Structure 1
Amino acid sequence: MKLLNMEVNGVHKLGVKTEQGIVDIVASVKKAGRTDIKTDVMSVISNTDEVSKLEDFIETVIAENKAEFVDEDNITWGPAVTKPHKIICVGLNYRRHADETNAPYPEVPILFNKFDNTLTGHKSEIAVPKMTEELDYEVELGIVIGKKAKYVEKDEALNYVFGYCTVNDLSARDLQMRTPQWLLGKTCDKFSPVGPYLVTADEIGNPNDLNLKTYVNGELRQDSNTSDMIFNCAEIVSYISDYMTLEPGDIILTGTPEGVVLGLPKEQRVYLQPGDEVTVEIEKLGSLTNYFVEEN
């Protein structure tokens, strides 16, 4: 199932992408007179039984002509996950990305964090902060946790995953490299576009074999596969769970492949500017586009 969030007057409304179109869950529940269906994405993530219930509901309202559809072109997209307890990121997790930045392969996952001020959705405008001259893109596979996880073994780790999403881990390189701690360059407003969809794990199969791409103004910049990850999805979830309890709705960003601006020779680096359009896409998860504007 492909879940999404629509923003209406500052409020997020749950939608589901189907073959017939996008179903407005809130409006469809009201039209069908149902009170037992969760209409908030975080409630669905936190209650795994709600997935099959929601699927059955959608099938029923479509069959009974009680489904309320929305025009995809008129949606204001919210982030696919709205209120994560944690946003945990893995650095230098692709072999060829480590190679292009002349960094040694890490022996354990390099972890850092982002905050919910960085969340935004598909097609949203993102202001290039005045404080940076080196804004870079990073396509990343996002893992969304579905069950509380602590001390999880690797062979069980993916059973705790609700689904996956496409994320752009925007990075202000000059701020990131100012100190040994990367946080400053990773946590400016809207630096984590997420979406357009949160796709349930059953639709993905093996998350360690998905194609990833980034386009800047239509030009292909990143073109890789999650099979190049140094630590795969199960290893990442297991490792993090040894040190902190993962909660439903937590997002883990699993690293970016080669092709970022930082990986180019210094004289060839052209960082993102107002007026640029960036699309990151991951196989089976969809394409996420954002427009960069000047900060007021």
Structure 2
Amino acid sequence: MNLKRCLIWLCCLTALPVQAVELMKWERIPLSVPLHVGQERIIFVDRNVRAGVPPELKGKLRIQSAGGAVYLRPEARFPSTRLVLQDVENGTIILLDISAVKKKGTPEPVRLVYGDNGLKPEEKKSTAGASQPLPPLPVALIRYAAQTLYAPLRTVEALPGVNPLSLPSPESAVSLMPSVPVDIHPLAAWGVGNYSVTALELRNRSRKVISLDPRRIQGRLHSAAFQHHRLGAAGTPEAVTVLYLVTKGQPESAFTAAPAGGKKDAD
């Protein structure tokens, strides 16, 4: 009788529906996540993250984050758009390229897996040059930001006291380089002591190669650095880079008022 009950129980288990989960490995390359209009898709990040709605998706996308999962529900179609997730504990950035189309069926949940063997940030950083003296704080902030965005998680060097900060508005960033034909989008910000660093994505709008010069930046800043010193023509992989701005105080203090007439191209 016990054997019979066991067999019946096993049959019931095998009959239960199991929802598939799509695994995506985060390796510092933006992950493409397609969405269906009117259908919610769950992203299991397994981290406490915050996500903001890009300005161009306001009214088109609902985002909720809870318990290590991000819930995305598009209300209208939209092309591929960069979504930034930021770990609230250590400032780590995860980039998703989301798009929405009208399509039947509920998309599978996504679970992110990482190439760091699941180690906690403090465990990964414990051997990263703990006995070496830190460089000047502005330099250390830029290095930390660049490593967080581009380097493997296990190689990000510890920066004592660093905390993620609120991002400045995309509208305020327009005033940074009014004479250069680039779109500017804030990605992430961190602070230590009286200094903060803001990482901003620069995207070339013109068909010409642009040589980037810090002297063309307008704002109240302590220092600045580019991830790359040249931008390829619009539509090429080289058309995007990151600008790091170091300021005293909060990130918003770097930006001046936007110039009259909005963006100005220098073609």
Work out which of the two has the higher radius of gyration on C-alpha atoms and give 1 or 2: 2
Provide TM-score, normalisation by structure 2. Answer: 0.26
Structure with the higher helix share, 1 or 2: 1
Provide TM-score, normalisation by structure 1. Answer: 0.24
